[in-house]
C-alpha cells in the first residue's frame, strides 16, 4: 500500500540528503560541546586552587552539560535513520530515550548538590572569593553562548530541550556563584556558598521533574497529551457510513508523530463502499487531529466483534 506511506517520504529524504537546517543544527551543537569541555577543565583547576565547592560543582555540571549535549547529538543522528526490519517505527524515539537519560542525570546532580550543600552548612570551608567570581563570569558567558546555540532547536525537540535545561541550570549556577563569591568578598559570609547551591539544586530538580513526565509518557505508549482518545473516535464516528470504532490504541511514536489503530464497524448495507468510508475517516483524522499514522481494521456490522472494548483490547 504505497499511497499510505507517501507521508513518510519526507522522513526518508533526510537520510540521503540531510537538509541544511539539520546540518546547521549539528554544527551548533558541536560548537556547544567544544565550548563546554574547555570550560570544565578551566573550572576544575580554578575550584581546586580556590577551594570553592560551588566552583567544582559548576565544573561537574558543565561536564554533564557537555555530556548531555553529546548524548543529544548522538540521539539526533540515530533518530534520522529510516525504519528498517529491526525498528519498524523508525528510530525517532532515540531522542526520547536520550531526553530520559539527560533528565535522570539532571535529577541525580540536583540531589547530589543538595547533599553537598547541607554538609557544607555544618562544615564551612575557606573560599577565595575573587577567583570564584572571575571563573564563574567566564562560565556564565559560556553557558549563555551554549544556551543561545541550542535555544531555537529546544523549542521543538524534547531531546535538545533536556540538554538545554542542563545548560540553563548551569547558567543559573554561574550567576549564583558570582553572587556568593561577591558576598564572601564583601562580608565574609561563607554560608552563602551552600545556600546558593541549595537554591540552584532546587530549581534544577523542579525543572527536570516537570519535563520528565512527558518523556515517560511517550515511552509508556501513553496517549498524546493534546489528544483525547474519545474525541478522536467521535470524529471518526461522525463520518457517514461508520457505525462505531472500538479496540482503539492511540499513542505517540515520538514527539512529532502520533498513531492510531482501531477496528471500524461499517454500517449494514454499506460494505460495498467500505474503502471509500475508510479513506474519508483517514482524511477526517488528519484534518481534525493531525493524525497521519492510522491503521483501521474493517468489520461489517453483521460480523462485528462480540464484546468490543472501546479502548485497548
For residue 313, give the C-alpha cell.
Answer: 483490547
Domain with 204 in it:
2-219
Residue that terminates a domain, selected from 153, 188, 219: 219
Q: Which of 142, 161, 133 is nearest to 61 (CA)?
A: 142
Average pLDDT over residues 211-221: 93
Exposure string (b/e) for 215-240, b if CB count within 10 Å is 16 or more? Answer: bebbeeeebbeebebeebbebbeebe
77 in the same domain as 29: yes
Residue that terminates a domain, selected from 194, 219, 244: 219
Q: How far is CA 112 from CA 135, 172, 205, 213, in A?
A: 22, 17, 11, 21
pLDDT digits (tens, 9 = 90+) for 144-161: 888 887 777 777 788 888
pLDDT digits (tens, 9 = 90+) for 108-129: 988 988 898 888 888 766 666 6
Yes or no: say if 174 and 39 are a contact pair by the CB < 8 Å rule: no
102 in the same domain as 15: yes
Yes or no: say if 245 and 233 are a contact pair by the CB < 8 Å rule: yes
For residue 126, what pLDDT is reported? 65
238 in the same domain as 259: yes
Q: How confident is the model at residue 226 (pLDDT cuts 50, 70, 90)?
A: confident
**Distance separating alpha carbons of residues 132 and 178, to the nearest angstrom:** 7
Residue that terminates a domain, selected from 187, 219, 251: 219
12 in the same domain as 79: yes
**Distance separating alpha carbons of residues 12 and 124, to the nearest angstrom:** 58
For residue 166, what pLDDT is reported? 79
pLDDT digits (tens, 9 = 90+) for 241-297: 999 999 999 999 888 889 999 999 999 889 999 999 999 999 999 999 999 999 999
CATH no. for residue 183? 1.20.1510.10
Cα of first residue to Cα of last residue in the chain, in angstroms, is: 26
252 in the same domain as 203: no
CATH no. for residue 290? 3.30.70.1350
- Whether residue 266 lies inside any domain: the answer is yes
202 in the same domain as 268: no
202 in the same domain as 157: yes
248 in the same domain as 206: no
Number of domains in the chain: 2
pTM: 0.77
Amino acid at each position: 500500500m504505497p499511497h499510505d506511506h507517501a507521508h513518510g517520504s519526507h522522513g526518508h529524504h533526510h537520510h540521503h540528503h540531510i537538509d541544511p537546517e539539520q546540518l546547521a543544527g549539528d554544527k551548533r551543537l558541536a560548537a556547544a560541546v567544544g565550548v563546554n569541555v574547555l570550560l570544565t577543565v578551566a573550572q576544575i583547576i580554578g575550584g581546586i586552587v580556590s577551594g570553592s565547592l560551588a566552583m567544582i560543582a559548576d565544573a561537574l555540571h558543565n561536564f554533564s552539560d557537555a555530556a548531555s549535549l553529546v548524548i543529544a547529538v548522538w540521539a539526533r543522528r540515530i533518530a534520522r535513520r529510516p525504519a528498517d526490519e529491526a525498528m519498524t517505527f523508525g528510530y525517532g524515539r532515540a531522542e526520547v530515550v536520550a531526553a530520559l537519560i539527560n533528565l535522570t542525570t539532571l535529577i541525580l546532580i540536583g540531589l547530589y548538590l543538595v547533599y553537598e550543600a547541607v554538609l557544607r552548612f555544618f562544615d564551612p570551608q575557606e573560599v577565595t572569593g575573587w577567583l570564584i567570581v572571575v571563573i564563574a563570569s567566564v562560565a556564565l558567558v559560556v553557558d549563555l553562548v551554549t544556551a543561545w546555540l541550542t535555544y531555537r532547536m529546544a523549542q521543538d525537540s524534547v531531546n535538545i530541550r533536556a540538554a538545554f535545561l542542563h545548560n540553563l541550570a548551569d547558567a543559573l549556577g554561574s550567576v549564583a556563584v558570582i553572587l556568593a563569591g561577591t558576598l564572601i568578598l564583601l562580608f565574609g559570609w561563607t554560608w552563602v556558598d551552600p545556600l546558593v547551591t541549595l537554591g540552584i539544586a532546587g530549581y534544577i530538580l523542579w525543572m527536570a521533574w516537570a519535563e520528565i513526565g512527558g518523556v515517560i509518557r511517550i515511552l509508556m505508549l501513553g496517549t498524546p497529551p493534546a489528544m483525547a482518545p474519545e474525541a478522536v473516535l467521535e470524529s471518526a464516528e461522525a463520518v457517514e457510513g461508520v457505525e462505531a470504532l472500538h479496540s482503539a490504541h492511540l499513542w505517540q511514536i515520538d514527539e512529532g508523530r502520533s498513531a492510531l489503530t482501531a477496528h471500524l464497524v461499517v454500517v449494514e448495507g454499506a460494505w460495498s463502499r467500505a474503502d471509500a468510508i475508510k479513506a474519508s475517516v483517514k482524511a477526517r483524522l488528519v484534518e481534525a487531529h493531525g493524525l497521519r499514522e492510522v491503521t483501521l481494521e474493517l468489520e461489517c456490522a453483521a460480523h462485528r466483534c462480540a464484546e468490543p472494548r472501546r479502548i485497548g483490547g
